[in-house]
Amino acid sequence: MRPNDDAARFAKLISEFLGGYAPNMLTASEHTLKSYRDALTLYVAFLESGGVKPSGLGAACFERSRIEEWIVWLKQARGCAAATCNVRLASIRVFLDYAASRDVALIYLAQDAKTIRRQKTARAKVDGLTRDAVAAMLAAPDLATTTGRRDLVLMVLLYATAARLGELLTLKVGQLRLDGPKPHVTVTGKGNKNRTLYLLPRAVSHIRKYLAEAHGDAPDSDARLFYSRVGGKHAQLTQPAVAKRLRKHAAAAHRQCPEVPLGLHAHQFRHGKASHWIEDGLNVLQVSFLLGHAHLETTMVYLDVALTGKAEALATLESENERRAPKKWKNQGGSLAAFCGLPSPTRP
């Protein structure tokens, strides 16, 4: 059966959201983009398992009652944990916000999706690096090599600013302000929101040395601070490449400091710095601003970590261009997933 106009519209929205809008307007994080794709892939798989054909795709498929059925399906058929269901739900909400921005007739879907209750979860324990672990990681790179010196500066910035890895990898030389009484860097976070992060003298010293070596006497302000050797100075390093380097350094650092996790990831520098800020007396509102959190509740988790090592931290609470997307939606045959330009989901 030939898909109707409503079906073609939703298939096109999915394709353009994943292929253009999300990577260009929402985030550069490969993990977040994968989360969007995985959620929509699973949602389409759920619809198909319920008998929805390409010709039947439409607004009714994204109404609140259907999304709630999907969450039950995720838990029962896929064995997903409550936290995973909440991540999937958040991705669907982002997609429906996009759909509503493209068609006012779909606004009710986005609004109804926001009223769906999140699954109750146990409060996650933040796995930030200890101060000793940070010191061990900064001592791990081989400074006799160019790559080792670059890795050191990247880790110094990860910890000094508590920025997300994606924020640092998209950083351009022109976003650095090292001269003047208050050296700082301006990063672009989630939702394309800019924030200013001030740098201490030691971090400034590391960055200056790296700039001189990697970018020369007249650095291009549009060049990526941490660029790809293969793609050139305007191509950023990929997160998988950085993750591989960090795991290598973690293996070496772990031998000197067992507190360094062998499966270390970049976000643990951010977690560690946030906890250390609170231990050192910053209040939660200040830390929330520095981290770029949209909600104060997100920052509150660091209190538990800080209180474990320093009970007096509790006192701080008293002061408080779209890429052209392939038109996969035009495909009229095959499965619903293929019609939407999505892969078939794999088992968890």
Q: Where are the domains of the chain?
A: 5-123+324-339, 131-263
Dihedral angle over CA of 3, 5, 6, 12, nearest 10: 90
Residues 6+ away with beta carbon under 8 Å from 177: 183, 184, 185, 186
For the four alpha carbons of 27, 29, 30 and 35, in that order, the dihedral sign comes to negative
What is the model's pLDDT at position 7? 87
Q: How far apart, in whole angstroms, are the C-alpha atoms of residue 306 and residue 39?
A: 34
Nearest 5 degrees, angle CA 24-CA 28-CA 32? Answer: 110
> What class, spelled out in words, does domain 131-263 have in CATH?
mainly alpha
5-123+324-339 and 131-263 in the same fold: no
Choosing among 1.10.3470, 3.30.160, 3.30.1460, 1.10.150, the CATH entry for 5-123+324-339 is: 1.10.150
Contacts 24+ apart (CB under 8 A), 117-124: 118/86, 118/89, 119/71, 119/75, 119/82, 119/83, 119/85, 119/86, 120/82, 121/81, 121/82, 121/83, 121/86, 123/301, 123/304, 124/83, 124/301
Using an 8 Å Cβ cutoff, are 316 and 278 in contact?
A: yes
CB-based contact 195:289 (threshold 8 Å): yes
pLDDT at 270: 87
Instruction: List, in sequence order, every residue forming a beta bridge with 184; answer none if it has no partner.
Output: 177, 198
Q: Strand pairing of 232-236 and 194-198?
A: unpaired
Q: What is the rounded distance in angstroms from the CA atom of residue 286 to the CA atom of residue 290?
A: 6
pLDDT at 317: 34
Tokens 């898909």: give the residue.
3
Coil, strand or helix at 199: coil
Give the pLDDT confidence score for residue 283 in this predicted structure: 73
Residues of the chain with pLDDT under 70: 1-4, 122-126, 191, 293-334, 346-348
- CA nearest neighbour of 305 among 281, 280, 271, 282: 271
pTM of the model: 0.58
Q: What is the pLDDT of residue 347?
A: 61
